Structure 1
């Protein structure tokens, strides 16, 4: 990677080069009053960044009396690097070239037509044109670089749009699958559970059917909400339906079809994200108890310890045979990720009595202000 000279060092270097040129001219036998014009030209270089043309004009007398002048070449380069007027730039090159061969004895027609004079003028013009071409080259390079940046930015934007379009298509397809397959099957479960509840005479069966119907109906509501969110991808943000929180834990435990007890301390001013994390943790834990520990009892505790909110769900060992059910094995992973997003932690494992315990810990930075 090429290293550029720091901007703060460029101007002193430019002045130094032009100053060395003056010293060289002084020792080359030029008159001291000629050096004054050269010093004026060097001083004018301090204005070249802001006013290139104004900086260029004071360098012409120095070029006129001394011949080739570093100050005039530097000033002309700056003009060429900034101007868009090619005609004015050509005129500046011509004037500087004439200054380099001045004075011309206008009354000496033989001198004007001398081939050496013509060659000298051509070389002087070439010398004056060199910084102009270099400045225009740097300007063109800068323009091309800016254009490439614009093209790169446009391509990045286009790539982002393509990605968003692909994601929107995938979300729409996922929404269709959830609506056409999952929602349909859950609806059948709810209908069959309702029919079972009406037809059975066994109180325990009737209660189980009611629980299944209630859970199926709630699942359908959540599925419909998820489908609406997926289908709204790429449009304006939609208002989300109220999400369950700590106040809904009692109903969740009561409808879990598990012999479970709830002990929940009041939590002051808990963030909505914290409430959802607590609710989803208890919901997933109770679901796992139903799936993996039939007949077990469970204890749900929500409490504070110092500046930490803790949620624990502990169940006893299963009392009935475990029925194998399909599982994506993503529930606990999702809970742990949700906890980590809130700077918390999730631990789980077997108990000494053969049961299972799950513990969620969340920092209290979101609720300390309301205590």
Structure 2
């Protein structure tokens, strides 16, 4: 699509053409006619704001001289800015009459063939300017209409996508409620029965941990199902959201021997606190899955204006458990850190262990 020149440039070109037309018909012996031609060229500067008045003020130039470019330009502008109507088409005979009449001594006789031909030629010239202006206006209106249609289509596609997403979320919520929640409930019940029936303290403690984690998972699932079912309504926050105070409880209940060190300022944003918690949670989960028997060290500090979360585990002492996994945990941690303006690195250590390190900006709020 070609870009139109700026309005100031267009006005300058039109005025220059009108002045060139006056110069082509210049006659030093007729100052009044030349003054009308020059005035009509200057009046064109008003054609965008006052198109009808501009056209009327250019007619004397056509009536008194042979300079017609200014009047045709004004008529074209009037046609581009006006809808079809009687007033617009009355401008055509007005131009034709002015062009075929000579003042101060008018010589207009419709019985002469020559006059009729000249009148028809002038009317056709004015009509061409009107039709061209109307064509430009129609093209502009059509462009606006196409833009509106495109916007409406995009909005409809967005609504359709939202409706599909809402159905998918509702279906996912049903599956989580009917399948996952049911199975986790069975785990909690069986763990409770094992806790009551077991005789040794170690088995009772393990069963209690399983039951507590199952109950906590059910609570989080219930909130997630509520969020999924609320799609299309008001935004719903996943509650309760973890914070720094929950990290100690997470370390104590993860089933791994851990060492926790935290040195952070007060007033960290909730998003940063949540990212710290999720980093520790994912690292401990990976240790439990891929490095059975290993110990973990959690170090959370404020370093050089940033929060550094480092979770390191030792080498496993038992073969890893064949647990299912989608391998999206570390990817999710990296994406979460990048969204907050931080970084994440992960890799094996020299002693056969593994380390996850996340750096997050520490925007402390008062």
TM-score range, shorter chain: over 0.9
Following the alignment from structure 1 to structure 2, what is the Cα–Cα distance between the partners of residues 363 and 25?
76
Partner residue, 2:323: 325
Partner residue, 1:262: 260
Following the alignment from structure 2 to structure 1, what is the Cα–Cα distance between the partners of residues 343 and 84?
67
1:77 maps to 2:53: no
Partner residue, 1:99: 98
Partner residue, 2:351: 353
Q: CA deviation at 1:104?
A: 9.6
Residues 104 and 63 of structure 1, relative CA distance in 2, 3 Å threshold: closer
Residues 339 and 239 of structure 1, relative CA distance in 2, 3 Å threshold: closer
Following the alignment from structure 1 to structure 2, what is the Cα–Cα distance between the partners of residues 309 and 68?
79
Q: CA deviation at 1:209?
A: 0.4
Following the alignment from structure 2 to structure 1, what is the Cα–Cα distance between the partners of residues 3 and 356?
57
1:48 maps to 2:58: no
Tell me which moved more, 314-323 or 197-206: 314-323
CA RMSD after TM alignment? 2.1
Following the alignment from structure 1 to structure 2, what is the Cα–Cα distance between the partners of residues 39 and 352?
90
Where does structure 1 differ by over 3 angstroms across 4 or more consecutive aligned residues? 103-109
Following the alignment from structure 2 to structure 1, what is the Cα–Cα distance between the partners of residues 93 and 55?
13
Q: CA deviation at 1:106?
A: 11
Question: Do the aligned partners of 2:187 and 2:211 also contact (CA within 8 Å) in 1?
Answer: yes
Following the alignment from structure 1 to structure 2, what is the Cα–Cα distance between the partners of residues 148 and 54?
32
1:87 maps to 2:59: no
Question: Do the aligned partners of 2:192 and 2:208 also contact (CA within 8 Å) in 1?
Answer: yes
User: Which residues of 2 match residues 102-251 of structure 1 at below 5 A?
Assistant: 102-103=101-102, 111-251=109-249
Partner residue, 1:7: 7
Structure 2: give runs of 5+ residues left out of the alignment. Answer: none
Q: Secondary structure of 1:302's match?
A: strand
Q: CA deviation at 1:43?
A: 2.1
Structure 1: give runs of 5+ residues left out of the alignment. Answer: none
Partner residue, 1:306: 304
Following the alignment from structure 1 to structure 2, what is the Cα–Cα distance between the partners of residues 296 and 113?
115
Q: CA deviation at 1:346?
A: 1.7
Residues 72 and 266 of structure 1, relative CA distance in 2, 3 Å threshold: closer
Residues 107 and 207 of structure 1, relative CA distance in 2, 3 Å threshold: closer
Aligned residues: 366
User: Which residues of 2 match residues 290-305 of structure 1 at below 5 A?
Assistant: 290-305=288-303
Following the alignment from structure 1 to structure 2, what is the Cα–Cα distance between the partners of residues 103 and 351?
101
State the TM-score, normalized to the length of structure 2: 0.94
Question: Do the aligned partners of 1:104 and 1:112 also contact (CA within 8 Å) in 2?
Answer: no
Q: CA deviation at 1:118?
A: 1.7
Q: CA deviation at 1:238?
A: 2.5
Following the alignment from structure 2 to structure 1, what is the Cα–Cα distance between the partners of residues 156 and 304?
51
Residues 272 and 107 of structure 1, relative CA distance in 2, 3 Å threshold: closer
Tell me which moved more, 72-81 or 304-313: 304-313
Q: CA deviation at 1:322?
A: 2.4
Following the alignment from structure 2 to structure 1, what is the Cα–Cα distance between the partners of residues 96 and 191?
100
Partner residue, 1:273: 271
1:19 maps to 2:19: yes
Residues 187 and 108 of structure 1, relative CA distance in 2, 3 Å threshold: closer
Following the alignment from structure 2 to structure 1, what is the Cα–Cα distance between the partners of residues 239 and 107?
98
Q: CA deviation at 1:306?
A: 1.9
Tell me which moved more, 164-173 or 98-107: 98-107
State the TM-score, normalized to the length of structure 1: 0.93
